[in-house]
Amino acid sequence: MSIKNSLVKTTRRVLPKKVVKKLENNYRKNRAKLVSSLYGNPASKLKVIAVTGTNGKTTTVNFLNEILKEAGYKTAMFSTANIEINGNQIRNDLNATVSTSKRMNQFFSDAVKQNVEFALIEATSHALSQYKLYGISIEMAIMTNLTQDHLDYHKTMDNYAKAKSILFKMKPKYIVLNKDDDWFNYFNNFRAVIKKITYGKDKEADVSIENIKLYKKGSEAKLKIEKDNVELANNLAGEFNVYNMTAAAAGAYLLGVSKEDIQEGIANLENIAGRFERVEGNQPFEVIVDYAHTPDALEKLLKTAKKITKNNVIIVFGACGDRDKKKRPIMGDIAFKNADKIFITDEESYNEDPNEIRKQILNGIADNKDYTKKVEEIADRQEAIEKALSIAKKDDTVLITGMGHEVYRIINGKKIPWNDAEVVKKILNKK
């Protein structure tokens, strides 16, 4: 054990928990300020837009990025799936939504060098509670939703919400909130320096969603913004993506972007790696790779797939190790209720026993009679995907969830190159 770790353990054992927590938070705050100063405080030269919530952060950030570019602004974007500075985009292979303070300040610094005006980022509960974004001036804070996730870290939903609320305590000039979300009233207590705006199907929302139309390869909706009607169409299927699109449109409206630029910007986003990502081939059925790794995201994805699929919905999924164990049986139950055929497999076990992870998912299914006719457990992820593709028929949809855009898996502490979409392509090419 290192001297540093020894001192940390001794401190935690001797001092009261509240004192230790305060010391840790002060250390994190000071470190964030120090790292920022070493880079010349680059975030202070940018208008930072931060999107938080359980699901939809990546898609919302990408929609808003396209809108602002269409409006003529230079932008930078740091999302879970992709990183872009002044139009130059790369895949985010860091396996982290918000990286270290050093990496984020490097991103902000590179954006400043490219004369970027708006920097769009995702703000996770971990990053906020660990003060990785401490000291940054927030131009706009956008909230997508709050559903069960990360309870291994936060323990309770109240603590989870409290961590998210740190963003709204950073005095953002503008705030965008989902009025349909169960936690709306909680986050509505926070004030924006200039203006707050709400969105949702709720008729009292400032940006109300009307006339949703869902298609296999996209969706449409009419938004009523104050007295103005705006018709939007995007290339991402599902009602949940209508909400993401609307959150971005509401944010752009606050910034004074024209209706035409909002429409064009939304339409410009063709796809996002691992977000309802279609894997195209000559197969007579759909294959969709999606990051859905929470109960809420999985349920919305499955219900969308059922609406746009003529025949059967087949799903391959698992759960991440060293993460919220309570959601595993819930996700198993959701899959059983909404899919026609289920393959439970391994995802990223980290340091946990993958057999135990699969067992916990099955615990949410086992009470159903004859569940084995519908559910198959295949530990090897590639083998599970191959089996799902082999039984798929014309007009079926095969969903492969949990890994999304990621380009490697962590198993027993080791990184193994892996990408669901690429694996699917190789299997289909062999056929």
Provide the pLDDT confidence category of residue 228 given band limits of 50, 70 and 90: confident
| Per-residue pLDDT tens digits for 159-181 | 999 999 999 999 999 999 999 99
Helices within 47-156 (DSSP H only):
57-70, 101-113, 125-129, 151-154
Strand duo 286-290 + 397-401: pairing: parallel
Do 111 and 77 meet the contact criterion of CB atoms below 8 Å apart?
no
What is residue 186's predicted lDDT score, i.e. its pLDDT? Answer: 97
Cβ atoms within 10 Å, residue 289 = 28
Instruction: Identify the weakest region by mean pLDDT among 6-20, 203-217, 380-394.
Output: 6-20
Query: Would you say residue 6 has pLDDT above 60?
Result: no
pLDDT of residue 356: 94
Confidence (pLDDT) at 17? 74
Chain segment 318-343, per-residue pLDDT in tens: 998 878 899 999 999 999 999 999 99
- Cα separation, 392 vs 315, in Å, equals 11
Q: Which of 112, 110, 104 is nearest to 131 (CA)?
A: 104
In the predicted structure, residue 317 carries a pLDDT above the cut 90: yes
Q: What is the pLDDT of residue 262?
A: 97
179 CB burial (10 A radius; 0-12, 13-18, 19+): buried
Task: Check whether 2 has a pLDDT greater than 70.
Answer: no
Eight-state DSSP code of residue 192: P
pLDDT at 153 over 90: no
Instruction: Examine the pLDDT at 105 and tell me if it is beyond 70.
Output: yes
- pLDDT at residue 44 is higher than 80: yes
Domains, the chain, with CATH or none? 39-268 (3.40.1190.10), 277-430 (3.90.190.20)
Q: What percent of the chain has pLDDT over 90?
A: 74
Position 5 pLDDT exceeds 70: no
287: DSSP letter: E
pLDDT digit string, tens, across residues 368-408:
777 888 999 999 999 999 999 999 999 999 999 999 999 88
Q: What is the mean pLDDT of the chain?
A: 91
Each residue's pLDDT tens digit, 234-245: 999 999 999 999
One-letter amino acid at 292 equals A
pTM of the model: 0.90
pLDDT in tens, 54-67: 999 999 999 999 99
Rounded Cα–Cα distance for residues 427 and 273 (Å)? 19
pLDDT the model gives residue 76: 98
Buried b vs exposed e over 69-79: b needs ≥16 C-beta within 10 Å?
Answer: bbbebebbbbb
Between 178 and 410, name the one with better pLDDT: 178
- Residue 97 pLDDT > 80: no
pLDDT attached to residue 23: 82
pLDDT at 1 over 50: no
DSSP 366: T
Beta 138-143 vs 47-52: how paired, if at all? Answer: parallel
The DSSP annotation for 29-75 comes to HHHHHHHHHHTT-GGGGSEEEEEESSS-HHHHHHHHHHHHHHTT--E
